[in-house]
Chain A
Amino acid sequence: NAGVTQTPKFRVLKTGQSMTLLCAQDMNHEYMYWYRQDPGMGLRLIHYSVGEGTTAKGEVPDGYNVSRLKKQNFLLGLESAAPSQTSVYFCASSTRSGRRYEQYFGPGTRLTVT
Protein backbone atom coordinates (compact mmCIF):
# COMPACT_ATOMS: atom_id res chain seq x y z
CA ASN A 1 0.00 0.00 0.00
CA ALA A 2 1.29 3.41 -0.95
CA GLY A 3 -1.03 5.10 1.56
CA VAL A 4 -1.54 8.75 0.67
CA THR A 5 0.46 10.16 -2.21
CA GLN A 6 0.68 13.73 -3.46
CA THR A 7 1.70 15.10 -6.82
CA PRO A 8 3.81 17.16 -7.34
CA LYS A 9 6.26 17.34 -4.45
CA PHE A 10 7.49 20.82 -5.32
CA ARG A 11 6.17 23.59 -7.53
CA VAL A 12 7.01 27.19 -8.26
CA LEU A 13 4.29 29.39 -9.73
CA LYS A 14 4.13 32.98 -10.80
CA THR A 15 1.39 35.21 -9.46
CA GLY A 16 -1.79 34.67 -11.42
CA GLN A 17 -0.92 31.20 -12.70
CA SER A 18 -3.13 28.25 -11.98
CA MET A 19 -2.35 24.71 -10.95
CA THR A 20 -3.87 21.56 -9.52
CA LEU A 21 -2.48 19.43 -6.73
CA LEU A 22 -3.40 15.77 -6.83
CA CYS A 23 -3.94 13.59 -3.81
CA ALA A 24 -4.50 9.86 -4.09
CA GLN A 25 -5.15 7.25 -1.43
CA ASP A 26 -5.37 3.49 -1.73
CA MET A 27 -6.92 2.71 1.65
CA ASN A 28 -10.52 2.99 0.48
CA HIS A 29 -11.09 5.88 2.89
CA GLU A 30 -14.31 7.84 2.68
CA TYR A 31 -12.99 11.14 3.99
CA MET A 32 -10.23 13.25 2.49
CA TYR A 33 -8.75 16.59 3.50
CA TRP A 34 -6.48 19.36 2.32
CA TYR A 35 -4.46 21.30 4.89
CA ARG A 36 -1.89 24.03 4.54
CA GLN A 37 1.07 24.60 6.81
CA ASP A 38 2.71 27.99 7.13
CA PRO A 39 5.91 28.80 9.05
CA GLY A 40 5.34 28.81 12.78
CA MET A 41 1.82 27.51 12.36
CA GLY A 42 0.17 24.19 12.71
CA LEU A 43 -1.86 22.76 9.88
CA ARG A 44 -5.09 24.48 8.90
CA LEU A 45 -7.91 22.83 7.01
CA ILE A 46 -8.65 24.24 3.57
CA HIS A 47 -11.37 21.91 2.25
CA TYR A 48 -12.52 18.41 2.93
CA SER A 49 -14.71 15.73 1.41
CA VAL A 50 -16.85 13.13 3.10
CA GLY A 51 -17.46 11.13 -0.04
CA GLU A 52 -17.24 10.97 -3.79
CA GLY A 53 -18.88 14.00 -5.34
CA THR A 54 -19.07 15.99 -2.09
CA THR A 55 -16.82 18.75 -0.80
CA ALA A 56 -17.00 21.31 1.98
CA LYS A 57 -15.09 24.35 3.17
CA GLY A 58 -12.68 24.25 6.02
CA GLU A 59 -11.06 27.04 8.00
CA VAL A 60 -9.16 28.76 5.15
CA PRO A 61 -10.95 28.00 1.84
CA ASP A 62 -10.55 31.32 0.02
CA GLY A 63 -8.61 31.13 -3.23
CA TYR A 64 -8.93 27.35 -3.54
CA ASN A 65 -11.30 24.94 -5.18
CA VAL A 66 -11.52 21.18 -4.82
CA SER A 67 -13.08 18.23 -6.53
CA ARG A 68 -13.64 14.60 -5.59
CA LEU A 69 -14.75 12.86 -8.75
CA LYS A 70 -13.35 9.52 -7.67
CA LYS A 71 -13.26 8.12 -4.16
CA GLN A 72 -9.52 7.67 -4.19
CA ASN A 73 -8.62 11.12 -5.51
CA PHE A 74 -8.97 14.61 -4.10
CA LEU A 75 -7.84 17.56 -6.21
CA LEU A 76 -6.91 21.01 -4.92
CA GLY A 77 -6.95 23.83 -7.44
CA LEU A 78 -5.54 27.31 -7.37
CA GLU A 79 -7.18 29.36 -10.11
CA SER A 80 -5.04 32.47 -9.73
CA ALA A 81 -2.10 31.92 -7.45
CA ALA A 82 -1.06 34.63 -4.99
CA PRO A 83 2.12 34.94 -2.92
CA SER A 84 -0.01 34.39 0.20
CA GLN A 85 -0.58 30.86 -1.03
CA THR A 86 3.08 30.00 -0.67
CA SER A 87 2.87 27.12 1.75
CA VAL A 88 3.28 23.42 2.27
CA TYR A 89 0.11 21.53 1.41
CA PHE A 90 -0.78 18.26 3.04
CA CYS A 91 -3.47 15.89 1.98
CA ALA A 92 -4.96 13.40 4.41
CA SER A 93 -7.56 10.68 4.44
CA SER A 94 -9.54 8.81 7.05
CA THR A 95 -12.36 6.39 7.47
CA ARG A 96 -15.79 7.70 8.27
CA SER A 97 -17.51 9.12 11.30
CA GLY A 98 -16.11 8.06 14.68
CA ARG A 99 -12.65 7.40 13.33
CA ARG A 100 -12.45 10.48 11.15
CA TYR A 101 -9.72 12.04 13.28
CA GLU A 102 -7.34 9.17 12.59
CA GLN A 103 -6.01 10.93 9.56
CA TYR A 104 -3.26 9.56 7.38
CA PHE A 105 -1.13 12.27 5.83
CA GLY A 106 0.64 12.45 2.52
CA PRO A 107 4.25 13.65 2.22
CA GLY A 108 3.29 17.22 1.38
CA THR A 109 3.67 19.55 -1.58
CA ARG A 110 5.84 22.62 -1.22
CA LEU A 111 4.42 25.45 -3.29
CA THR A 112 6.13 28.77 -3.87
CA VAL A 113 4.31 31.63 -5.56
CA THR A 114 6.53 34.46 -6.76
Chain B
Amino acid sequence: AQKVTQAQTEISVVEKEDVTLDCVYETRDTTYYLFWYKQPPSGELVFLIRRNSFDEQNEISGRYSWNFQKSTSSFNFTITASQVVDSAVYFCALGNSGYALNFGKGTSLLVTP
Protein backbone atom coordinates (compact mmCIF):
# COMPACT_ATOMS: atom_id res chain seq x y z
CA ALA B 1 0.00 0.00 0.00
CA GLN B 2 1.26 3.43 -0.86
CA LYS B 3 2.30 5.14 2.32
CA VAL B 4 2.76 8.67 1.03
CA THR B 5 0.43 10.26 -1.47
CA GLN B 6 1.18 13.44 -3.32
CA ALA B 7 -1.92 13.81 -5.44
CA GLN B 8 -0.67 16.83 -7.36
CA THR B 9 1.63 15.64 -10.11
CA GLU B 10 2.33 19.07 -11.59
CA ILE B 11 1.53 22.60 -10.51
CA SER B 12 2.15 25.74 -12.49
CA VAL B 13 1.92 29.20 -10.94
CA VAL B 14 2.93 32.70 -11.80
CA GLU B 15 5.62 34.33 -9.75
CA LYS B 16 4.43 35.87 -6.46
CA GLU B 17 1.47 33.55 -6.19
CA ASP B 18 1.15 31.38 -3.09
CA VAL B 19 1.12 27.64 -3.67
CA THR B 20 0.38 24.67 -1.43
CA LEU B 21 1.74 21.20 -2.04
CA ASP B 22 -0.30 18.43 -0.49
CA CYS B 23 1.01 15.35 1.27
CA VAL B 24 -1.11 12.61 2.82
CA TYR B 25 0.54 9.76 4.64
CA GLU B 26 -0.53 6.41 5.98
CA THR B 27 0.88 4.66 9.02
CA ARG B 28 -0.28 2.70 12.04
CA ASP B 29 2.77 3.64 14.05
CA THR B 30 2.50 6.22 16.80
CA THR B 31 6.08 7.31 16.31
CA TYR B 32 7.02 8.44 12.84
CA TYR B 33 8.82 11.19 11.00
CA LEU B 34 7.81 13.31 8.06
CA PHE B 35 10.10 15.10 5.65
CA TRP B 36 10.03 17.41 2.68
CA TYR B 37 12.80 17.44 0.10
CA LYS B 38 13.35 19.71 -2.87
CA GLN B 39 14.89 18.39 -6.08
CA PRO B 40 15.89 21.26 -8.36
CA PRO B 41 16.63 20.69 -12.05
CA SER B 42 20.27 19.99 -11.14
CA GLY B 43 19.05 16.75 -9.56
CA GLU B 44 20.31 16.76 -6.00
CA LEU B 45 17.99 16.28 -3.06
CA VAL B 46 17.78 19.21 -0.72
CA PHE B 47 16.44 18.62 2.77
CA LEU B 48 13.78 21.15 3.78
CA ILE B 49 12.17 19.99 6.99
CA ARG B 50 11.76 17.12 9.43
CA ARG B 51 8.80 16.66 11.75
CA ASN B 52 8.16 13.95 14.30
CA SER B 53 4.71 12.65 15.11
CA PHE B 54 4.66 14.22 18.55
CA ASP B 55 5.15 17.73 17.32
CA GLU B 56 2.12 19.12 15.54
CA GLN B 57 3.29 22.69 15.65
CA ASN B 58 3.26 24.36 12.31
CA GLU B 59 6.56 25.73 11.14
CA ILE B 60 7.52 28.76 9.14
CA SER B 61 10.89 29.34 7.55
CA GLY B 62 11.00 32.46 5.46
CA ARG B 63 8.57 31.99 2.58
CA TYR B 64 8.08 28.31 3.44
CA SER B 65 5.55 26.98 5.89
CA TRP B 66 4.36 23.54 6.83
CA ASN B 67 1.01 22.45 8.21
CA PHE B 68 1.03 19.11 10.04
CA GLN B 69 -2.38 17.69 10.93
CA LYS B 70 -2.49 14.22 12.47
CA SER B 71 -6.29 14.19 12.34
CA THR B 72 -6.18 14.16 8.55
CA SER B 73 -2.76 12.49 8.19
CA SER B 74 -1.52 15.42 6.19
CA PHE B 75 1.70 17.36 6.08
CA ASN B 76 1.20 20.16 3.57
CA PHE B 77 3.81 22.59 2.35
CA THR B 78 3.08 26.19 1.36
CA ILE B 79 5.34 28.55 -0.51
CA THR B 80 4.34 32.17 -0.13
CA ALA B 81 5.11 34.66 -2.88
CA SER B 82 6.64 32.01 -5.10
CA GLN B 83 9.77 32.73 -7.11
CA VAL B 84 11.21 31.23 -10.26
CA VAL B 85 13.95 29.62 -8.17
CA ASP B 86 11.27 27.59 -6.40
CA SER B 87 10.74 25.59 -9.59
CA ALA B 88 11.62 22.02 -8.67
CA VAL B 89 10.18 18.66 -7.81
CA TYR B 90 9.15 18.44 -4.19
CA PHE B 91 8.99 15.15 -2.34
CA CYS B 92 7.23 14.30 0.87
CA ALA B 93 8.63 11.30 2.76
CA LEU B 94 7.70 9.19 5.75
CA GLY B 95 9.94 7.28 8.13
CA ASN B 96 8.00 4.91 10.31
CA SER B 97 9.12 1.31 10.36
CA GLY B 98 12.13 -0.36 8.88
CA TYR B 99 15.01 1.64 7.50
CA ALA B 100 13.71 3.18 4.30
CA LEU B 101 12.31 6.60 3.88
CA ASN B 102 9.03 6.10 2.04
CA PHE B 103 8.78 8.76 -0.62
CA GLY B 104 5.75 10.10 -2.41
CA LYS B 105 5.92 10.37 -6.19
CA GLY B 106 6.67 14.04 -6.02
CA THR B 107 5.01 17.24 -7.19
CA SER B 108 6.63 19.17 -9.99
CA LEU B 109 6.29 22.89 -9.40
CA LEU B 110 6.85 25.35 -12.21
CA VAL B 111 6.96 29.02 -11.36
CA THR B 112 6.86 31.32 -14.36
CA PRO B 113 7.79 35.00 -14.41
Contacts and interface: CB of A to CB of B under 8 A. Distances in A.
A74 interface: no
B11 to A, nearest CB: 15
Interface stretch (B12-20, B63-71, B94-102): B94-102
Interface of B: 4, 9, 33, 35, 37, 43-45, 47, 50, 91, 93, 95, 99-106
30 contacts: A31-B99, A35-B100, A40-B9, A40-B105, A40-B106, A41-B105, A41-B106, A42-B4, A42-B102, A42-B103, A42-B104, A42-B105, A43-B91, A43-B101, A44-B100, A45-B100, A48-B100, A56-B99, A58-B99, A59-B100, A88-B43, A90-B45, A100-B99, A101-B33, A101-B35, A102-B50, A104-B47, A105-B45, A105-B47, A107-B44
A43 B9 CA distance: 15
Interface of A: 31, 33, 35, 40-45, 48, 50, 56, 58-59, 88, 90, 100-105, 107-108, 110
Nearest to A100: B99
A56 B99 CA distance: 10
